[in-house]
Amino acid sequence: MLRRTESTVQLLDRVRMHLETIYRDTPLQVTPEDLARELIQVMRLDEADCTPESHVNYWTQRDSIVITYGDTLLREDEKPLVTLKTFFDSHTEGMISGIHILPFYPWSSDDGFAVLDYSSVNEFLGDWGDIQAIASSYDLMADLVINHCSSRSLWFENFLRGQDPGKDYFFTASPDDDLRAVVRPRTSPLLREVETSEGTKHVWCTFSHDQVDLDFRNPDVLRQFVSIVRQYLDNGVRIFRLDAVAFLWKIPGTNCLNLDETHEVVRLMRTLVEHANPGSLLITETNIPNRENLSYFGNANEAHAIYNFSLPPLLVNTLITGNVRHFKTWLMSMPPAQNGTTYFNFIASHDGIGLRPAEGLLSDEELDLMVETMLHFGGHVSYRALEDGQNKPYEINISLFDALQGTTAGPDTWGIERFVCAHAIMLGLEGIPGIYIHSLVGTRNDYQRVQNTGAYRSINRHQWQYDELEALLNREDTTHAQVFSRIKELLSIRGRQAAFHPNATQFTLHLGDNICGFWRQSIDRRQSIFCITNVSAEMLPLSLCDINLIGTDEWVDLVSGTQFQSREEVLELQPYQTLWITNKADYAGT
């Protein structure tokens, strides 16, 4: 029975209103108020009496997250989750605040994103005790694979048999439905024909035929996922990545993307999570054009953070062309995140470099040139199906280190500098940085893994033997050690600067087509940092007059330690050099 305090009554009203919006066109067997009571009890919010504050930033400049699979690092006779924690405990020295462990559940395909059982840890990786151990030392980010699950899951087997749980869990449609407008990231048929105890049905498969889409019109599916969220919270998960959430709600005849009901489900999840554990965060993973992606902030009442999907293709384009014009235009168009929300910045991940988020920002000719360059650097291209039956490049599959080994003119000797430069730009931007573990250690394309799996994305999912990686990181002459050392140093510097708070002010600077520049100012306005990067392979002059340094302050470059004596100085920027020029070095704020 729900305790009736003032805060729980308010919560009940909020949850009920979310549900009325979600199910306004869907008949329910229970009233929205009764369903609201059930969800509140599942989340055990009836035991609490708290109302979370709004517009609170639960992050600082010291926050950064490493993205990794649970089995990226392997050591004989040791569970990979134990090995993973050992690596970060030994090597990151407090510079990493969080770890995003990609799906650590039992799975059947797509390296974890076809989930067999949401309530278990893949026994090869470890157990819930290992997850809790990581969560005790780091902010743990986990995937809520909410759009679909494995066709070999118990839920789907029960769907085929007409049994619970699962009987009505999956979205079905007719081949005669108007599905021409449906937006998809794959080229496989949308519908999969299956035989069930009730006859032939066609299940909806946005991604693959082993990943069957769940039907949130059935409130039992919602109940299941609220229960899963509660379990993850109990095991130490603080940050929830809502995987592929943009595809959640389907209405034949529409594009089935970013529908109003989908946004309301995100709002509901935020309400439940923030009441269960203020400080827990939702991050939406929506690999879609930029304007649509921004919509998941809502009015600071949906995602706490959104994946900044336009950043990877735009930054790669900038560095292979040596021209910052499109990147600068995009920066100027990005609205400052309200307090209580922020961007999740990344330039590499377990997936490829998405091209849809660059639509409208780069021309088709520029996208084609980037694809051609990445193919020349050993990458692959994955496609998606269009409404007219044609296929269009959807993402580039390549390790970031290989993607930045040269320019559109071909490979050159500036690969390491260009690669570190990309991270320096990202680390300076408004938002929380997410660094893929393979970028942290400079991993190259893994062609053998592609051959073994037959999946292009495997090119950037190398598995390291722990002792081999250790040996490489301990040798100063290796690329891996040089990259690791320099990115860690940038992270260390970043964490000490109040002007790098994820919500600190950001303005774009206009320094020509070959120099990327933006200004950050701390929330208390006491520290300024001018982030300036030469994005070309040529030496370039920079006059300090052009960045309007205040003459009464003393200015220093945080990266090199160089002090500037005069605003009239003209600097020679080395190829791919980054300056972080500040008036208050190592100022962490008040």
CATH of the domain at 517: 2.60.40.1180
Tell me if 461 is assigned to a ligand binding site: no
SS3 state at 212 = strand
d(CA 437, CA 348): 9
Query: First vs last Cα of the chain: how many Å apart?
Result: 45
549 belongs to a structural domain: yes
Give me the residue label for tokens 């959807």: 394
Considering only residues 101 and 289, tell me which one the structure prediction assigns the higher pLDDT. 101
271 belongs to a structural domain: no
35 belongs to a structural domain: no
Q: What is the pLDDT of residues 219-259, one digit of tens each?
A: 999 999 999 999 999 999 999 999 999 999 999 999 999 99
Give me the residue label for tokens 């151990």: 133
Query: 137, 86 in Cβ contact below 8 A?
Result: no
d(CA 367, CA 317): 8
Q: What is the pLDDT of residues 59-84, one digit of tens each?
A: 999 999 999 999 999 999 999 999 99
Q: Strand pairing of 391-397 and 380-385?
A: antiparallel
Tell me if 241 is assigned to a ligand binding site: yes
510 belongs to a structural domain: yes
Tell me if 190 is assigned to a ligand binding site: no
pLDDT score at 545:
87
Q: What is the DSSP letter of 296?
A: G
Tell me if 350 is assigned to a ligand binding site: yes
Tell me if 148 is assigned to a ligand binding site: yes
d(CA 26, CA 400): 45
Indicate the helix (H) or strand (E) that contains 570. Answer: strand 570-573
Q: Strand pairing of 139-144 and 515-521?
A: unpaired
531 belongs to a structural domain: yes
Buried b or exposed e, range 40-63, using 16+ CB within 10 angstroms: bebbebbebeeebeeeebbbbbbb
Q: Say which residues have a Cβ less than 8 Å from residue 373's Cβ, sequence separation at least 6.
A: 320, 406, 407, 408
Return the minimum-mean-pLDDT range out of 380-394, 411-425, 436-450: 380-394
Tell me if 457 is assigned to a ligand binding site: yes
What the block records as the tokens of 164 is 């619970």
**Candidates 243, 402, 446, 557; catalytic one:** 243
Query: 474, 481 in Cβ contact below 8 A?
Result: yes
Provide the Cα torsion 399, 402, 408, 412; round to 10°.
170
How high is the mean pLDDT of the chain? 95
Range of the domain at 575: 505-582
260 is catalytic: no
Count of domains forming the chain: 1
- Rg (C-alpha) for the chain, rounded Å, is 24
Give me the residue label for tokens 């100012």: 521
pLDDT score at 34:
97
536 belongs to a structural domain: yes
